[in-house]
Structure 1
Amino acid sequence: MLSNLGDTQHGAGNYEDAIRFLVEADEMVAKSRLAALAPFVASNLAMCQLAIGAHEAAFVTIQPYLELDRDTVRMGRADAAFFRAIAAHTYTANGQWLEARQMVARALEAADQLGDVKIAVHCHWVLGLVERGEGRPAESLVALQKAEALLGPIKDPYYSVQISRELAAGHAALGNWPEAYRYLEQHQLLYQRSLGSAARARMQIARIQSELAEAERERDFALLKQAEAERARAELEMLNRELAAKVDEIERLQTKLREQAIRDPLTDLYNRRYLQEELANEIRLAERRYYPICVVLIDLDHFKTVNDRFGHPVGDRVLIELANLLRANIRGSDFACRFGGEEFCLVLSDIGLEAAMGRMADLLDRFRALVVDLADSQLDRLTFSAGVAAHPHHGSTPDDLLAAADAALYRAKAAGRDRIYAAE
């Protein structure tokens, strides 16, 4: 129940409460006769951490249980397969491709034997990430297509949204632009559909929570009267079924809202709210472990001209293409955000200023080479300007680093755009 409460709170965007519930669940099962559930609870906690981009925390959560075959604790085969799929996902998020491949192979073998389609979908998705991370875009696309082919019986929209986005990136990596654009449109349609139902979902959640509280009161009353009559026992069973159905409905609805709280709906990058929260966490982690980080602010050059000349739909495509480029060229320990309008932000972990400047120069070259196909022409020669600030040299707080990067960006644009400047 604590694990389910943690997932529910995470779906509502209450991350601290979610972690608290799941950590409490982990401590409880470790001290009880239910110790075999500990890896499963850790899997749920790591899955929540992966969903919000806390990749290192997810790996720390999973790490104590990685040697399952050597543990005295034994799990059911389905739970073990689920654990290994999540463990493989944490390895990919940290760029440990060999370990991820080994772990996902074991999870996929178990999923095939058990006939568990959802775990198989997750495994093929992770395998696609591993292949892409090891520089094999064609093999990555094949794995993602296998995941897509298995989506049919899965009602959870999360997988279809995520896999359509990865397929768009996979086709783009191979230069299959029509297919990449088709999957990108499919991803946007699925995501926009979930956004369109957000207000209705919130109203339903409030209604269901009220009904849930009422059902719990009625159930407690029925428990007190259970000994009095068989009728009371029958009523209790009915109320318990209704209660379980309502909990399931809440979890499904809150899953739809989970990503909406921290994602930009157009580009599917993290949003500014997530940046403000996670940049502070990243600074604290860097200070504890004594490594540098860099913050980069990026602004598209002459973006207003693109909108005025070609229209806002084309402008949106340019924003999406840059977002895809950023996503495909950062490590698992980094993250990208849409800062607002045509501005983006990168947080690069464990990297010095000189190396960060080199990576941004390479990224600018890739963006210059980008061609956006239009109905009767092509849009090319796209550029951006960027400012780079390093912690702790240019600041020790999120506001200081963002201000330093913004000042460097302003100088880059004033100097003629299409260039990258470091903070002074």
Structure 2
Amino acid sequence: MSGDPRKTAEGLTYLSGFGNEHSSQAVPGALPDGRNSPQRAPLGLYAEQLSGTAFTEPRACNRRSWLYRIRPSAAHPAFTRTENGTIRTAPFTEAVADPNRLRWDPLPEPAPGTDFLAGLWTLGGNGDATQRTGMAVHLYHANASMDRVFSDSDGELLIVPERGGLLLHTEFGPLYVEPAQVALIPRGVRFRVELIEDFARGYVCENYGAPFRLPDLGPIGANGLANARDFLAPVAAYEEVEDPVEVVNKFCGNLWTATYDHSPLDVVAWHGNHVPYIYDLRRFNVLGTISYDHPDPSIFTVLTSPSDTPGLAGVDFVVFAPRWLVGEDTFRPPYFHRNVMSEYMGLVEGAYDAKTAGKGGFVPGGGSLHNMMSAHGPDRETFDRASAAELRPQKVDDGLAFMFETRWPLTLTPHAARAEHLQQRYDDVWQGLQRHFRPLH
């Protein structure tokens, strides 16, 4: 690779009609004409289907792609177990779910030579990866590019960079993702992470359940929230490498490794809808009140993984993007509440409008967990300030926060529960909320 590596990810293809069929070829004539699996695939390639859902799932939910590659994926030696490091997978049974409100500072600096995979650090999760239900929250910190290839059989990976850009070399082609964007790697897709800068840090949601999709808009109508046309898929590119390559597979919670005699990123052409993509969170079309009162945070949903109960997501990805606040006679920061859903919140940049920033506060790279029915909301300083603020139109554009919201409580990993960067006095932010009640009679 020469020059700026980000240029290899330019010319992305639009995923207009999110979830619909798309295609790309690195060499003209590599895509078959009208047949998915002809007797002889073009250019001496092998035809292979990658199914992200069961064959018989409804057409609207079905995810699969056809790959036309130099060698089939079946051409590999046996996998053997390798160390999991700080990666853990549901079911999380090493600890009990904690009802307390919890907050962490950013991960400490990684050891020299830590790549994306070695730098994955599991905070916790729920469900059961073997039953394809639930999710896990991971963080990552890295200071080295990967010279190996990774795939996750347990779920899809939603990557949320907080510091440093990543060049994701995938079977479908390269994707460049930077802070304020997100990238999704579908279940089973192989990829390698190259660092653009000396250091990278961020968050990952591993979704074991139904693939993420755009939420239904209901009474909102046809427009709003994330637009399908703003999701970008890679353009086909392939590696013709005939040297040993380590391939690591995450399967039922454990890491397995095999050494191939070639690069598995050798797809010359593809078509389908089980594809990686990126999305720029600054493109999110925020909706909100233009009269009074505070709408629920569900209006900030970018992607949702539906469950077997309509309206109850296995996990939602929610972003608090720049927006105008104009509500009259309204407490504008997020209100005090208790929620049947469990919420992990992270911060990409700036400050969140319901929390005090700075040392010991809610800072970029950190995160908070409010499990189901735990009471939370603005801290005392924010409450006092917002209660007395002059309610003129206000632009909130000094921060970018997000939330992984899930139907079940998150159980922590032991290393997250005992982490040195776990804040020990998070409850103190609500101390000093005074009694103001004055009966009229």
Q: TM-score with structure 1 length normalisation?
A: 0.26
Larger relative contact order (Cα-Cα within 8 Å, sequence gap ≥ 6): 2
Higher helix content, 1 or 2: 1
Higher strand content, 1 or 2: 2
Q: TM-score with structure 2 length normalisation?
A: 0.25
Whichever of the two has the greater Rg, that structure is 1
